């Protein structure tokens, strides 16, 4: 091991951290691979591979998130619930980039702030599951745990360590195309109609979107006229993220590398998880004394923590003290997901615990209005009501305003395809419509129109 990181033992953690110190802790959702030799082969292959992302990019994202924590920028994070290896394909990648760009255009216009974009993509391959078994085609089979662990098809439900390497390859190929598209002008603000609306037919939404496009086009034209054209108008940053669930994958991609913020003569190094720019700890794996918190307390990437009805107020501060002992602004994003019926009674106490502590104004508050609003309809189909999603986001905006804190971001499950997975919205999608185009392999996602409606909700909130 390349050295260790000393850390506080205030939370009962061992003083020394190493990339494998998580192995001595209890762990949830851990794959128990039957073929240990095959696992060791995959892990050693991953160890040899180059980083997928670079520390310079990781640090740049952390600086942007510091601006979000200070209320100077807005964070938009979105993508699939479970990204499949099959989504590593030109059209799927482009349509996701375009939807994130459309939404950020609306947010820039409405909130009058810079937008930081993070895709739930290029690595969102692992899913925590509440039950080890599920029914598929009338048969009880091991649950689908995401393409990094097993396959959706009933014949592929056994854990396969070879998938760890396939995850690396698909993640890199996806990010390569994201980078190539951005470098080739997909996000050029001089050409906003490049990301014109795809499936949206609603005249009211189209008119509102056109207003935002016209506003930005005029602004860019004006900047050109006065000679203030800036190379930043030709592209944007798009960072990647996934749930840091499979530590057998994250550990070999964690590298001890030069800290780009330090002068080279200092020789300062940090551990970076180079599988993505941003990693989050899920609702099921954030126990203070368990393996996931142990692993993530040692890495320098910005981190998300899912916060929900089962998060005790005291745990929240203990998590911040463990994962961000130096109180770096922007290091931690609290991704709140209570459900529309619970947010009003739970969020204020979480806000007060943080904002009345030494962590005031250091965290990014981000609303995930998806994960507290799941429901099943007849036939066991998983869905969410758009009205619940809208309501949780609306209440969250309101509560932060009331508490004097800043809702700096939104975390959504979405796709650029015209899927019919969430009920309602202005199309009034009913239970019978769900089967029209339900293609999610895990949680139901917002389609382009529903996602834009949420972007306008946020824009209108900040415009008033």
Q: Does the annotation flag 337 for ligand binding?
A: yes
**Piece in contact with Mn ion (CB under 5 A), picked from 81-89, 191-199, 381-389, 425-433:** 81-89
Among ligand PEP, Mn ion, none, what binds residue 128 when CB lies within 5 to 8 Å by partner kind?
Answer: ligand PEP
Selected binder of ligand PEP within 66, 117, 306, 449 (CB under 6 A) = 306
Q: Hey, what are 239's tokens?
A: 């960072």
Q: Which is nearer to ligand PEP, 70 or 284 (CB)?
A: 284
317 CB-contact burial (10 Å; exposed 0-12 / middle 13-18 / buried 19+): middle
Q: Does the annotation flag 81 for ligand binding?
A: yes
Selected binder of ligand PEP within 283, 294, 355, 453 (CB under 6 A) = 283
User: Is 337 near ligand PEP (CB under 6 A)?
Assistant: yes
As a whole number of angstroms, the distance between CA 133 and CA 174 comes to: 30
Selected binder of ligand PEP within 13, 64, 277, 371 (CB under 6 A) = 371
Judged by CB under 6 A, the chain residues 374 through 433 that form the site for ligand PEP are none
Cα distances (Å, whole numbers) of residue 431 to 339, 372, 383, 418, 426: 20, 19, 9, 16, 15
Selected binder of ligand PEP within 282, 302, 330, 339 (CB under 6 A) = 282
As a whole number of angstroms, the distance between CA 314 and CA 257 comes to: 34
Among Mn ion, ligand PEP, none, what binds residue 323 when CB lies within 5 to 8 Å by partner kind?
Answer: none
- Contacts with ligand PEP: how many residues (CB under 6 A)? 9
As a whole number of angstroms, the distance between CA 99 and CA 264 comes to: 39
As a whole number of angstroms, the distance between CA 294 and CA 14 comes to: 9
**Piece in contact with ligand PEP (CB under 6 A), picked from 7-15, 49-57, 170-178, 278-286:** 278-286
As a whole number of angstroms, the distance between CA 334 and CA 368 comes to: 10
**Piece in contact with ligand PEP (CB under 6 A), picked from 90-98, 221-229, 279-287, 444-452:** 279-287
Selected binder of Mn ion within 443, 451, 455, 457 (CB under 5 A) = 443
Q: Which is nearer to ligand PEP, 67 or 421 (CB)?
A: 421
**Piece in contact with ligand PEP (CB under 6 A), picked from 138-146, 276-284, 402-410, 416-424:** 276-284
Packed helices 448-463 and 90-111: angle between N→C axes, nearest 10 degrees? 20
Yes or no: say if 185 and 169 are a contact pair by the CB < 8 Å rule. Answer: no
Yes or no: say if 76 and 366 are a contact pair by the CB < 8 Å rule. Answer: no
- Contacts with Mn ion: how many residues (CB under 5 A)? 2
Among ligand PEP, Mn ion, none, what binds residue 97 when CB lies within 5 to 8 Å by partner kind?
Answer: none
Selected binder of ligand PEP within 7, 69, 81, 363 (CB under 6 A) = 81
What 3-state class would DSSP assign to 464?
coil
Q: How many CB atoms lie within 10 A of CB 295?
A: 27
Q: Which is nearer to ligand PEP, 18 or 124 (CB)?
A: 124
Q: Show the binding pattern over residues 111-150: x = contacts ligand PEP (CB under 6 A), - = does not.
A: -----------------x----------------------
State the minimum distance, in angstroms, from the CB of residue 185 to ligand PEP: 31
Q: Which is nearer to ligand PEP, 160 or 283 (CB)?
A: 283
As a whole number of angstroms, the distance between CA 88 and CA 107 comes to: 27
State the minimum distance, in angstroms, from the CB of residue 225 to ligand PEP: 44
Q: Hey, what are 217's tokens?
A: 């086009």
As a whole number of angstroms, the distance between CA 455 and CA 212 comes to: 12
Q: Which is nearer to Mn ion, 109 or 125 (CB)?
A: 125
**Piece in contact with Mn ion (CB under 5 A), picked from 75-83, 110-118, 160-168, 274-282:** 75-83
Closest listed residue to residue 449, CA positions, set 399, 405, 409, 415: 415
φ, ψ at 72 (rounded to 5°): -105, -5
43 CB-contact burial (10 Å; exposed 0-12 / middle 13-18 / buried 19+): middle
Q: Which is nearer to ligand PEP, 248 or 283 (CB)?
A: 283
**Piece in contact with ligand PEP (CB under 6 A), picked from 50-58, 201-209, 282-290, 414-422:** 282-290
HSE, CB side, 13 Å, CA atoms: give it for residue 452.
Answer: 31
User: Which residues lie below 8 Å from residue 326, measured CB to CB, with a gap of 6+?
Assistant: none
Q: Which is nearer to Mn ion, 105 or 414 (CB)?
A: 414
Q: Hey, what are 103's tokens?
A: 């939404």
Place of tokens 């078994």: 133
Judged by CB under 6 A, the chain residues 215 through 244 that form the site for ligand PEP are 243
What 3-state class would DSSP assign to 296?
helix
Report the sign of the C-alpha dihedral through residues 148, 85, 243, 435, in that order.
Answer: negative
Summarize the annotated binding site for phosphoenolpyruvate as residue ranges: 120, 306, 337
Residues that bind Mn ion (CB under 5 A): 81, 443
- The binding site for ligand PEP (CB under 6 A) comprises 81, 128, 243, 282-284, 306, 337, 371
Q: Can you say which residues are annotated as belonging to the binding site?
A: 81, 120, 306, 337, 371, 413, 443
């Amino acid at each position: 091991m390349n050295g260790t990181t000393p850390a506080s033992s205030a939370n009962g953690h061992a003083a020394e951290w190493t990339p494998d110190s998580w192995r001595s802790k209890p762990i949830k959702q851990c794959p128990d691979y039957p073929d240990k030799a095959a696992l060791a082969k995959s892990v050693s292959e991953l160890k040899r591979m180059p980083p997928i992302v670079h520390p310079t990019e990781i640090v740049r994202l952390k600086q942007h998130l510091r601006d979000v924590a200070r209320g100077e920028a807005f964070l938009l994070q979105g993508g699939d619930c479970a990204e499949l290896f099959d989504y590593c394909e030109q059209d799927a990648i482009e349509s996701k980039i375009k939807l994130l760009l459309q939404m950020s255009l609306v947010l820039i216009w409405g909130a009058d702030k810079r937008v930081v974009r993070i895709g739930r993509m290029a690595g969102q391959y692992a899913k925590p599951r509440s039950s080890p078994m599920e029914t598929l085609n009338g048969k009880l089979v091991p649950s689908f745990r995401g393409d990094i662990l097993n396959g959706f098809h009933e014949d592929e439900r056994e854990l396969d360590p070879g998938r760890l390497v396939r995850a690396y390859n698909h993640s890199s190929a996806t990010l390569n195309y994201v980078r190539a598209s951005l470098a080739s002008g997909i996000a050029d603000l001089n050409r906003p109609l490049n990301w014109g609306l795809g499936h949206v037919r609603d005249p009211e939404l189209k008119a509102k979107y056109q207003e935002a496009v016209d506003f930005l086009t005029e602004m860019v034209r004006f900047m050109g006229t006065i000679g203030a054209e800036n190379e930043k108008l030709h592209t944007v940053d798009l960072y990647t993220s996934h749930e840091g669930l499979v530590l057998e994958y994250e550990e070999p991609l964690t590298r001890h590398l030069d800290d780009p913020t330090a002068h080279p003569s200092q020789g300062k190094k940090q551990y970076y998880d180079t599988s993505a720019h941003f990693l989050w700890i899920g609702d099921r794996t954030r126990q203070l004394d368990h393996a996931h918190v142990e692993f993530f307390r040692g890495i320098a990437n910005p981190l998300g923590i899912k916060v929900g009805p089962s998060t005790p107020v005291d745990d929240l501060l203990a998590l911040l003290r463990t994962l961000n002992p130096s109180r770096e602004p922007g290091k931690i994003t609290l991704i709140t997901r209570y459900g529309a019926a619970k947010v009003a009674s739970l969020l204020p106490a979480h806000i007060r615990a943080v904002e009345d502590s030494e962590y005031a104004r250091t965290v990014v508050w981000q609303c995930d209005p998806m994960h507290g609003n799941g429901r099943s309809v007849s036939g066991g189909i998983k869905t969410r009501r758009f009205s619940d999603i809208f309501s949780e986001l609306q209440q969250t905006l309101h509560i932060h305003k009331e508490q004097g804190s800043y809702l700096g971001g939104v975390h959504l499950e979405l796709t650029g395809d015209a899927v019919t997975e969430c009920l309602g919205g202005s199309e009034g999608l009913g239970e019978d419509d769900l089967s029209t185009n339900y293609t999610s392999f895990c949680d139901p996602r917002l389609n382009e129109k529903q996602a834009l409606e949420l972007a306008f909700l946020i824009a209108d909130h900040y415009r008033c």
